[in-house]
């Protein structure tokens, strides 16, 4: 029975693929030993893992002869693996570990990038939320200030009007068909051209033609009073004003200048 230290070379080849160990007797001995030796079995698993990581595993194309020789040469240079635990870190394992810092750096870089993206997204959301809140606070303060002003006990409420607008012309008529009398009071009337008068028309409720109801000229301040008898007991619907020649007219000359409103 061979000691398992003697299987080191065979084990490394066997780990690459069973066929790589082309000496049938050697392979049979190794397989017999593996059935009995758990230490070699776990070393085989470990070597298979290394081989797989380096793309030399039995799956896929067989490892090229040179790679196998290099592997064998490397194993030759290693101290014999007997029980010492550091031997379990075989040469393949050390090569893999040489790559580990690069892989770790890559993982760390990707992770850092993800964290940075997430952080900057969160930060910009927080910034816009803060801006919206600040804006709302300003609006709220404005609204509160306006309410305070309105409800302030010493607040003076005044309404201002234009000082330039001329007062609108206005005429009041009081008419009684039964008394057959009409009173007109005019104010703020526009001045008339020479030879013209304002003429009042009674628009009958029966829909008949407008009836002349007197003429007048306002004074310098635009005021006028007309008090006149109006025969016929006509029921009036509305009154209207036109501008006519000084003698007055029997039919209104358009346009109508003023009209009673209901």
Q: How many CA atoms lie within 13 A of 144 on its CB side?
A: 6
CA distance 144 to 142: 5
Considering only residues 37 to 76 of the shown chain, the ones binding Zn ion according to CB under 5 A are 37, 40
Residue 186 binding Zn ion, by CB under 5 A = no
Residue 6 binding Zn ion, by CB under 5 A = no
Q: Kindly tell me which of 38 and 159 has the beta carbon lying closer to Zn ion.
A: 38
Our separate counts of H helices and E strands in the chain read: 5, 7
Tell the smallest beta-carbon distance from residue 7 to Zn ion (Å).
Answer: 6
CA distance 53 to 9: 19
Q: Kindly tell me which of 39 and 190 has the beta carbon lying closer to Zn ion.
A: 39
Q: Kindly tell me which of 4 and 230 has the beta carbon lying closer to Zn ion.
A: 4
Q: Kindly tell me which of 42 and 105 has the beta carbon lying closer to Zn ion.
A: 42
- Return the bridge partners of 172, or none: 185
**Residue 206: Cβ-neighbour burial (10 angstroms; 0-12, 13-18, 19+):** exposed
Which one of the spans 30-38, 105-113, 159-167, 248-256 is the region binding Zn ion (CB under 5 A)?
A: 30-38
Q: Kindly tell me which of 20 and 40 has the beta carbon lying closer to Zn ion.
A: 40
Tell the smallest beta-carbon distance from residue 14 to Zn ion (Å).
Answer: 12
Tell the smallest beta-carbon distance from residue 76 to Zn ion (Å).
Answer: 19
Q: How far is CA 182 from CA 152, 197, 246, 247, 254, in A?
A: 52, 18, 20, 20, 23
Residue 4 binding Zn ion, by CB under 5 A = yes
| Furthest C-alpha separation in the chain | 157
Q: Which residues are near Zn ion by CB under 5 A? A: 4, 37, 40
């Amino acid at each position: 029975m061979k000691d398992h230290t003697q299987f080191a070379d065979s084990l490394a080849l066997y780990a690459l693929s069973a066929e790589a160990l082309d000496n049938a007797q050697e392979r049979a001995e190794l397989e017999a030993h593996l059935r009995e030796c758990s230490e070699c079995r776990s070393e085989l698993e470990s070597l298979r893992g290394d081989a797989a990581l380096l793309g030399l595993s039995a799956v896929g194309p067989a490892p090229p002869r040179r790679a196998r020789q290099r592997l064998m040469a490397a194993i030759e240079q290693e101290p014999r693996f007997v029980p010492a635990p550091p031997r379990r870190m075989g040469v393949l394992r050390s090569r893999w570990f040489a790559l580990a810092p690069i892989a770790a750096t890559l993982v760390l870089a990707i992770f850092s990038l993800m964290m940075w993206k997430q952080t900057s997204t969160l930060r910009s959301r927080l910034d816009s939320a803060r801006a919206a809140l600040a804006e709302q606070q300003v609006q709220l303060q404005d609204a509160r200030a306006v309410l305070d002003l309105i409800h302030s006990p010493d607040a003076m409420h005044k309404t201002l009007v234009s000082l330039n607008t001329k007062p609108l012309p206005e005429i009041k008529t009081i008419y009684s068909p039964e008394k057959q009398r009409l009173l007109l009071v005019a104010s703020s009337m526009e001045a008339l051209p020479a030879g013209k008068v304002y003429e009042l028309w009674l628009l009958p409720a029966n829909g008949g033609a407008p009836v002349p109801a007197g003429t007048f000229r306002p004074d310098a301040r635009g005021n006028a009073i007309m008090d006149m008898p109006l025969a016929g007991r006509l029921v009036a619907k509305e009154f209207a004003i036109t501008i006519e020649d000084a003698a007055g007219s029997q039919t209104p000359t358009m346009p109508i200048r003023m009209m009673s409103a209901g």
